[in-house]
């Protein structure tokens, strides 16, 4: 099905290219201004639908910036998830170089995602408090797409799926993600296939905990390999992913600290304390602990 869809898309693009090539040269002096049914841009981007999704709950001007920034982050979460799924499939197929390239792309997406926090860096407690009560119990803690990223990184937790029980499709997708091997699980399975001693796989639904054998393997990768080697490049790119994810957590923490201090979170969490605890939990932990032994 995928190949047919791609093939069909290729034929459509080729046809459009021939049509453009056959148009008079004069047509290229100015953009096309008349269309039979809306604009091709809106058909593709759904710009009107996107702009219609901003529905502030108050007339406080600052709320729109908060809402738009949050929605932009959600779009990036979805993009990164799709890229990590692709990288995982490639790793499972021993396609290390393409998988590393995909993970490298996701690092760039994180740079843009992390930059989104700057759009809220001006938000003072007084400005946030002006519309915060209207949010009720809504909290970024409840983002299902962010939870998918956490699960892919090995930060598994069944209780954190429970806020979504009343949304059957979302809840089922999270339960499936909880029970599937993480991206890091796929990396460790790859190392095992390459001859590195690995611990026996555990329950994929359990949160990943550091293991000495995994640290030994990364120390060996760095000791025996170097730039130009695919496992070395994979290790460095995974470290980039971990670092950028930690950057996101830190920027989230500082944004909360700046706009609301240590108040409890609107979703019922301890707010700043919860974020500080999350920040201390390393992603791909042995890639960091191995550096002490190098």
- Numbered residues of the known binding site: 132, 252
Phi, psi for 95 (deg, rounded to 5): -95, 75
Binding residues for heme: 252
- Measure the CA–CA gap between 238 and 286, rounded to whole angstroms: 11
Q: Which of 263, 52, 282, 253 is nearest to 140 (CA)?
A: 253
Say if residues 154 and 282 touch (Cβ distance below 8 Å). no
Largest CA distance in the chain: 69
Task: Judge contact between 264 and 270, C-beta under 8 A.
Answer: yes
User: Which residues contribute to the annotated binding site for substrate?
Assistant: 132
DSSP codes of every residue in 85-138: HHHHHHHHTT-HHHHHHHHHHHHHHHHHHHHGGGGGTT--HHHHHHHHGGGTT-
């Amino acid at each position: 099905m995928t190949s047919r869809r791609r093939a069909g898309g290729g034929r459509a693009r080729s046809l459009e290219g021939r049509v453009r090539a056959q148009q008079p040269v004069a047509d290229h002096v100015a953009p096309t201004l008349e269309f039979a049914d809306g604009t091709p841009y809106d058909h593709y981007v759904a710009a009107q639908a996107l702009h219609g999704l901003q529905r502030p709950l108050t007339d406080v001007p600052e709320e729109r910036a908060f809402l738009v920034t949050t929605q932009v982050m959600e779009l990036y979460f979805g993009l990164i998830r799709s890229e990590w799924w692709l990288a995982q499939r490639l790793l499972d197929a021993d396609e290390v170089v393409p998988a590393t390239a995909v993970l490298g792309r996701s690092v760039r997406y994180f740079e843009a995602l992390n930059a989104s926090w700057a759009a809220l860096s001006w938000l003072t407690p007084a400005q946030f408090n002006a519309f915060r009560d209207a949010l009720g119990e809504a909290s970024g803690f409840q983002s299902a797409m962010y939870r998918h990223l956490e699960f892919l990184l090995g930060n598994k937790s069944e209780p954190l799926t429970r806020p979504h029980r009343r949304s059957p499709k979302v809840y089922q997708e999270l339960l499936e993600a909880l029970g599937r091997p993480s991206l890091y699980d796929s990396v460790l399975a790859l190392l095992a296939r390459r001859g590195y001693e690995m611990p026996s796989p555990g329950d994929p639904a359990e949160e990943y905990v550091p293991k000495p054998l995994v640290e030994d393997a990364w120390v060996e990768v760095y000791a025996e390999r170097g730039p130009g080697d695919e496992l070395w490049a994979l290790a460095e790119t995974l470290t980039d992913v971990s670092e950028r994810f930690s950057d996101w957590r830190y920027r989230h923490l500082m944004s909360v600290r700046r706009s609301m201090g240590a108040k409890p979170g609107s979703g019922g969490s301890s707010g700043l304390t919860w974020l500080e605890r999350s920040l201390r939990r390393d992603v791909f932990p042995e890639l960091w602990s191995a550096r002490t032994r190098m």
